[in-house]
Amino acid sequence: MPSTTRQPLRTSCVLGLALALFGAAAPDARAIDLVPDLFKKEVINSEVWREQEQYVALAPQGDETAPPNKHPVSLDVSEVRDALKSVQLWQGGGLLRDEKSSPLLTKAQTEVLARYLAEALARAKPQEDAVFAVRGYAEIAFDTLKEREWTSGRAFFADGKLNIIIGAYQLRKDRGKRNAEAAWGVLNDYSDLKFDTGSRDSASTKMPGRVVSATGVAVAGGAESSRPDWLLIDINKAAKAYREGLVPDEEKARDQKSQRDAARLTLERREMREEMARMRQELKALKANGGGAGASVEDRLKTLLDLKSKKLITDEEYQKRRAQILGDL
């Protein structure tokens, strides 16, 4: 008899433990428990940077049918930084709510990825992607507390664009398990976390909004694509658009006026140089034929006055030449 009741009891304990860990209902996509996947481990070829659970590394493409990347590639860190800053996410739209945009990545995440993705892609081979996981902080409890969250994915350079596939976006560790771990003194230990770094095959995360289509920024397949997690960034165009967007309209108007004024001044100077060259030729011809003996006194005086008005001759030269012309009468 004891042996017949022990197995159901053991089974119920296992089921109870599973429910306690994972919950009876499916967790929200942005507030899930990052339990390590014991059956799938990301293959890392080499690490470029690591800080606790955060990292940027090189890994295989993961898709044997994918064409080779254009690696290695040399990217300017400041250009990558400004390009990433230009990526905005529309969120919050709905009944009686206005849709608003916010940066896809935090300032700290942008700084880390700009620096280390550029380094990784400069070292990457054509069949390697850069994979990453970076930490952010979400405001909770009426913005009085902050909670850790993570964004992970992969990046590669192809067809002249930086491709970024988001595998997990703003994911948080389950609070219930976090509180349980606190009892064992491991509240701030996240070193064992495993992150989804995305795939070319299909989207692995549900974005909480849509990426804003802007200069240099698009999603794979176009605006109606089923891959809002796959970003295509023309680094130079996106970075330039971002910097231009920082300039106030008043300053832009002043710059445009300055450019117009500079262009007009350049044209006037060129016309003046051409006129001066013509007048010099006239002066040279006037001197060559003995002070313009072949021309009428009136024409000679008019030409002389033109030279003086254009400051091609001094007042002293004008008076001297005028006296000579009048002396020929």
Model pLDDT for residues 251-293, shown as the tens digit of each residue:
556 666 777 778 888 887 887 788 778 777 767 766 665 554 5
* Together in a domain, 167 and 37: yes
23: left (phi over 0), alpha (psi -120 to 50) or beta: left
Range of the domain at 286: 249-327
Q: Is residue 175 part of a domain?
A: yes
**Helices within the chain (DSSP H only):** 2-22, 77-85, 107-123, 175-182, 235-245, 249-288, 297-309, 315-327
* Together in a domain, 213 and 77: yes
> Which contacts (CB < 8 Å, 24+ apart) does range 15-22 have?
21/177
Q: Is residue 76 part of a domain?
A: yes
Please give the Cα distance from 169 to 226 (Å, whole number). 16
Dihedral over Cα of 158, 159, 162, 166: its sign: negative
pLDDT at 37: 43
DSSP three-state, residue 164 = strand
Q: Is residue 148 part of a domain?
A: yes
96: left (phi over 0), alpha (psi -120 to 50) or beta: left
Q: Is residue 56 part of a domain?
A: yes
Tokens of 135: 């930490």
* Together in a domain, 267 and 227: no
Burial status of residue 172 (CB atoms within 10 A of its CB: 0-12, 13-18, 19 or more): buried
* Together in a domain, 294 and 233: no
pLDDT at 180: 59
Please state the domain count of the chain.
2
Q: What is the DSSP letter of 312?
A: S
> Which contacts (CB < 8 Å, 24+ apart) does range 133-142 have?
133/53, 133/54, 133/55, 133/168, 133/193, 133/195, 133/197, 134/54, 134/105, 134/108, 134/109, 135/53, 135/54, 135/108, 135/109, 136/105, 136/106, 136/108, 136/109, 136/170, 137/106, 138/170, 138/172
Q: Is residue 279 part of a domain?
A: yes
* Together in a domain, 160 and 41: yes
pLDDT at 152: 96
* Together in a domain, 62 and 108: yes
Among 222, 245, 268, the domain-final residue is 245
Q: Is residue 59 part of a domain?
A: yes
Q: Is residue 177 part of a domain?
A: yes
Residue labelled with tokens 């970076």: 134
Q: Over its length of 329 residues, how does the chain's per-residue pLDDT go in tens digits? A: 344 444 444 444 444 444 444 444 444 444 444 444 434 567 999 999 999 899 999 999 988 889 999 999 999 999 999 999 999 998 765 544 456 788 999 999 999 999 999 999 999 999 999 999 999 988 765 555 678 899 999 999 999 999 999 999 999 876 656 555 556 555 566 777 889 999 999 888 888 888 888 899 999 987 666 788 999 999 999 999 999 888 765 655 666 677 777 888 888 788 778 877 877 776 776 666 555 455 677 777 888 888 888 777 888 888 888 888 777 66
* Together in a domain, 198 and 323: no
pLDDT at 12: 45
pLDDT at 86: 94
137 - beta bridge partners?
148
Among 205, 225, 245, the domain-final residue is 245
147 - beta bridge partners?
138
Q: What's the whole-model pTM score? A: 0.63
232 - beta bridge partners?
163, 218
* Together in a domain, 209 and 302: no
* Together in a domain, 53 and 90: yes
Among 196, 218, 245, the domain-final residue is 245
* Together in a domain, 166 and 315: no
* Together in a domain, 293 and 187: no
Please answer whether residues 88 and 100 qualify as being in contact, where contact means their C-beta atoms are separated by less than 8 angstroms.
Answer: no
* Chain CA centroid to CA 25, Å: 38
Residue 159: CA atoms inside 13 Å, Cβ hemisphere, count? 7
pLDDT at 8: 44
Q: Is residue 19 part of a domain?
A: no
Q: Which of 7-35 are b and which e, b meaning 16 or more Cβ less than 10 Å from the residue's Cβ?
A: eeeeeeeeeeeeeeeeeeeeeeebbbbbe
Residue labelled with tokens 């023309």: 234
Tokens of 283: 């002066």
Q: What is the DSSP letter of 68?
A: P
* Together in a domain, 218 and 260: no
